């Protein structure tokens, strides 16, 4: 039995009927043989290694009345077949059909009475390949620990992981949980005092005792000052000791509104070597280039909709604060940088330069606050207060703009091919999450020689998300023209969508086109299919 940290629990408190705390990843795999059964292979693989996967064994137990953060316990009623599900994509098995299934799956909340993960095996892609969507709650793992989990699940060059036994734990009673809570509050004076004062203040307000309520409020202010003592050295200069965070609102965009539960998902893939060529030609970092691509893609989209603000957009960029020395790897160690996106600039090269400067400024601000202090601060927040704050934010999201417009994340992936149950993974497309007033997320993941873009948005706020994904690829071309860099590889044609097969012929495909997310439907002979698989 293990208690969630404040950061872990925050991804639970943010949830509502329309806001979800899970994140996902979509892997596209080759079939190692014609008789390969993906669903049976996935089920057998997880059955063999589940004893090694602690985050997938445990379920939530919530403290009565939300008085403290929940606990993890190993599930006594674990049902592997509940977590691993089988889906068929209807012909022609195009990219947008796959994406539509993904958007429906991620638009559903997870069952908190079971371990918070699901795996969907999807067959029927146009070229005979298959996909696996892994859906995991952010309270369980962050991006870095999710990569660790992916490596554990994958095949291992040094031999198979031997099954290890594990067993569930009894669910503690409400009385036991309250007893633990009392002990926890007794050993956490700040948290305990805040909870007591909240109860006193609520009692005083209900009874109409103004004096008692005022006393509680003054005491609360004193506790707040006490909790803030872990800030930078007061003797430091004003610029060093002050936490500089954006205090102005981000400009409005079509997706910075209240969201529904429905999602849209779109994906595009590009050559990692080409992005590195832009990096070399410009003299900036790979992440600077990715941020500039996003700035240009969003600018083109907003211009199309006559919605481009005069001020730059602002991006929230997740940052891992792992040191590698954590006692428990299966927890969240993540913070964020807030940086301007120069969407108001017309020149692509200037956008790239300003993206670089914005990230430098964001990192400087981030470095002013010790990462440990940010994580520890979450421990002081009462679950009741945290949940109420999220709900209040949701209610006012259409009237107040938050400090950021969009979440943009760039996740480095493995450079060596990964296999699952003998099947080679060709692409890994990230599928992140959105919230009220932040109805768009762009996550980029590198794998082998590809850079895969996963865009997820609120269904009614970004109805043409595929166009937005294409515009990000358009920006790559603009950057090549602006920098004078030479392409290492030709750009691949877009992955086929359902209408494409009926409205226009497919362009010739490059030798690396097999890395695309989905290919045009065609009646290939078995011999040709085998030959294509061998080339990979």
CB 273 within 8 A of CB 492: no
How far apart, in whole angstroms, are the C-alpha atoms of residue 189 and residue 197? Answer: 12
The residue count of the chain comes to: 536
The residues with which 452 forms a beta bridge, in sequence order, are: 269, 445
How far apart, in whole angstroms, are the C-alpha atoms of residue 51 and residue 163? Answer: 6
Q: Which residues contact 249 (CB under 8 A, 6 or more apart)?
A: 400, 401, 402, 403
CB 386 within 8 A of CB 12: no
How far apart, in whole angstroms, are the C-alpha atoms of residue 267 and residue 250? Answer: 26
In the DSSP assignment, the letter for residue 252 is P
Q: Is 293 exposed, middle or buried (0-12, 13-18, 19+ CB in 10 A)?
A: buried
Question: Helices marked H in 397-512 — which ranges?
Answer: 465-483, 500-503
CB 291 within 8 A of CB 359: yes
Query: Which of 22, 138, 356, 472 is flagged as catalytic?
Result: 138
Question: Helices marked H in 135-271 — which ranges?
Answer: 143-153, 174-186, 189-207, 210-227, 238-241
Angle (CA) 260 265 270, round 5°: 155
- Is residue 138 annotated as a catalytic residue, yes or no? yes
Examine residue 509 and say whether the peptide bond preceding it is cis (omega within 30 degrees of 0): no
71 SS3 class: strand
113 SS3 class: coil
| Closest residue by Cα to residue 57 from 2, 109, 121, 20 | 2
How far apart, in whole angstroms, are the C-alpha atoms of residue 488 and residue 75? Answer: 50
Q: Which residues contact 464 (CB under 8 A, 6 or more apart)?
A: none
CB 432 within 8 A of CB 409: yes
CB 128 within 8 A of CB 97: no
Neighbour-count burial for 167-200, b at 16+ CB within 10 Å, e otherwise: eebebbeeeebbebbeebbeeeeebebbbebeeb
Strands 58-61 and 22-29: unpaired
| Closest residue by Cα to residue 357 from 371, 369, 345 | 345
* Helical packing angle, 465-483 and 348-367, nearest 10°: 100
> Tokens 């981000």 appear where?
250
Catalytic residue numbers, as ranges? 138
């Amino acid at each position: 039995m293990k208690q969630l940290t404040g950061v872990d629990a925050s991804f639970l408190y943010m949830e509502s009927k329309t806001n979800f705390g899970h994140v996902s990843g979509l892997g596209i795999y080759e079939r190692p043989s014609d008789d390969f059964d993906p669903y049976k292979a996935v089920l057998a693989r997880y059955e063999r290694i589940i004893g090694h996967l602690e985050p997938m064994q445990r379920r939530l137990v919530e403290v009565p009345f939300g008085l403290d953060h929940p606990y993890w316990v190993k599930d006594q009623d674990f049902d592997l077949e509940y977590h691993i599900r089988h889906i068929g994509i209807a012909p022609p098995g195009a990219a947008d059909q796959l994406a539509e299934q993904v958007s429906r799956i991620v638009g559903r909340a997870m069952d908190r009475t079971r371990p918070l993960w699901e795996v969907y095996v999807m067959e029927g892609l146009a070229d005979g390949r298959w996909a696996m969507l892994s859906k995991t709650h952010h309270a369980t793992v962050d991006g870095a620990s999710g990569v660790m989990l992916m490596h554990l699940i994958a095949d291992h060059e040094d031999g198979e992981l031997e099954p290890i036994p594990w067993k569930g734990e009894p669910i503690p009673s409400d009385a036991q949980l309250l007893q633990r809570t009392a002990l926890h509050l007794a050993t956490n004076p700040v948290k305990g005092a805040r909870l007591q004062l909240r109860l006193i203040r609520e009692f005083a307000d209900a009874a109409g005792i103004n004096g008692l309520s005022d006393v509680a409020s003054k005491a609360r202010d004193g506790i707040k000052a006490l909790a803030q003592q872990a800030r930078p050295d007061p003797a430091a200069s004003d610029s060093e000791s002050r936490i500089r965070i954006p205090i102005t609102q981000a400009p409005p965009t079509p997706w910075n509104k209240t969201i529904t539960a429905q999602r849209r998902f779109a994906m595009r893939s590009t050559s990692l070597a080409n992005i590195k060529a832009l990096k070399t030609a410009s003299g900036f970092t790979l992440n600077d280039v990715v941020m500039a691509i996003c700035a240009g893609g969003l600018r083109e989209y907003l211009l199309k909709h006559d919605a481009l603000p005069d001020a730059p957009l602002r991006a929230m960029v997740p940052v891992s604060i792992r040191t590698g020395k954590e006692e428990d790897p299966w927890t969240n160690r993540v913070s964020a940088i807030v940086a301007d996106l120069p969407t108001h600039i017309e020149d692509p090269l200037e956008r790239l330069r300003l993206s670089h400067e914005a990230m430098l400024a964001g990192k400087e601000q981030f470095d002013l606050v010790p990462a440990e202090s940010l994580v520890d601060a979450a421990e002081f927040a009462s679950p009741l207060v945290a949940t109420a704050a999220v709900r209040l934010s949701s209610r006012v999201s259409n009237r107040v703009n938050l400090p950021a417009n969009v979440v943009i994340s760039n996740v480095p992936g493995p450079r060596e091919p990964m296999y699952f149950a003998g099947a080679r993974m060709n692409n890994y497309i990230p599928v992140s999450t959105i919230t009220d007033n932040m109805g768009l997320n762009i996550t980029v993941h590198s794998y082998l020689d590809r850079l895969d873009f996963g865009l997820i948005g609120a269904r009614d706020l970004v109805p043409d998300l595929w166009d937005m994904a294409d515009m990000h690829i358009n920006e790559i071309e603009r950057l090549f023209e602006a920098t004078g860099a030479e392409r290492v590889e030709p750009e691949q044609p877009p992955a086929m969508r359902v209408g494409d097969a009926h409205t226009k012929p497919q362009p010739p495909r490059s030798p690396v086109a097999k890395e695309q997310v989905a290919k045009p439907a065609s009646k290939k002979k078995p011999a040709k299919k085998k030959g294509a698989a061998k080339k990979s």
